[in-house]
């Protein structure tokens, strides 16, 4: 899953596209697809810690033209929309998006679960507490990562009661998690298989990598590839990344290891 951020303030400068109607968007989308991305994840609301709040109208003004442009230039591309708002999810699917990627796991809009169930599209259920503005203060767990799995299981049950299908689990690296918890989460990734859904991992260039290594987000590609490889070895089935070619190489080589027979 290649990241297309239609935002001026996403944490990694190299992922920002400030105008969804520009050639930069088409160029970036084509680059990601050419490098091996299977899905393009379009986001119009930065969810980095402390990110600025924007209205649904502003988010729609960023996201809908991007969907239109990708569909026009790359009609075979699978499009995901990164939003926690049911209103945006509905408009995005009607505009041609195929997947809803909700970083809040339904926490920030009580209508999201019913909306995605009614839309009958795949839904990424991510674990998060609070909001992008408050999540860093909500990292206290009684039992980690058991609490994360329990909270996701409860939401899965609600989604299934509503008739939602094709649910993808994202453990939520960096969302209401400390750096140490992110590393523990990566080690515990096989436990998420008990939820019975594909697992998506999004660690690309995040602070857990660049702060640990003492580098900038722009210098965190090698660390990202290392953690992506570990995630794949521990059962991840989708990688959400800024750098599709390197992620694709990690997938190919990891598959060679896991499928090797002599």
Q: Which residues does the annotation mark as catalytic?
A: 206, 240
- Sign of the CA dihedral with 218 first, then 222, 223, and 225 last: positive
CB contact at 8 A, 96 and 71: yes
DSSP letter for 38, please: S
Both structure tokens of 204: 């690309």
Bridge partners of 199, per DSSP, are: 169
CB contact at 8 A, 93 and 112: no
CA distances from 80 to 19, 70, 162, 194, 198 (A): 18, 11, 21, 25, 16
């Amino acid at each position: 899953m290649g990241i297309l951020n239609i935002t001026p303030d996403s944490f990694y400068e190299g992922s920002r596209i400030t105008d969804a109607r520009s050639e930069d968007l088409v160029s970036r989308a084509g680059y990601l697809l050419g490098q091996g991305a299977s899905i393009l994840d379009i986001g119009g609301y930065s969810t980095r810690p402390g990110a600025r709040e924007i209205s649904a109208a502003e988010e729609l003004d960023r996201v809908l033209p991007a969907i239109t442009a990708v569909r026009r230039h790359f009609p075979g591309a699978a499009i995901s929309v990164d939003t926690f708002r049911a209103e945006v999810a509905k408009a995005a699917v009607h505009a041609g998006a195929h997947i809803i990627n909700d970083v809040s796991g339904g926490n920030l809009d009580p209508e999201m679960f019913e909306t995605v169930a009614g839309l009958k599209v795949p839904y990424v259920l991510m674990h998060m507490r609070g909001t992008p503005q408050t999540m860093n203060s909500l990292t206290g767990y009684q039992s980690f990562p058991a609490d994360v799995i329990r909270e996701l299981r409860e939401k899965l049950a609600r989604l299934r009661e509503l008739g939602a299908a094709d649910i993808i689990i994202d453990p939520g690296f960096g969302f209401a998690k400390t750096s140490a918890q992110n590393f523990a989460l990566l080690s515990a990734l096989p436990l998420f298989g008990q939820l019975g859904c594909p697992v998506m991992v999004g660690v690309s260039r995040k602070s857990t990598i660049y702060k640990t290594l003492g580098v900038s987000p722009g210098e965190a590609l090698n660390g990202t590839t290392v953690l992506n490889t570990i995630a794949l070895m521990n059962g991840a089935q989708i990688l959400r990344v800024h750098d599709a070619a390197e992620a694709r190489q990690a997938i190919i080589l990891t598959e060679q290891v896991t499928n090797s027979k002599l």
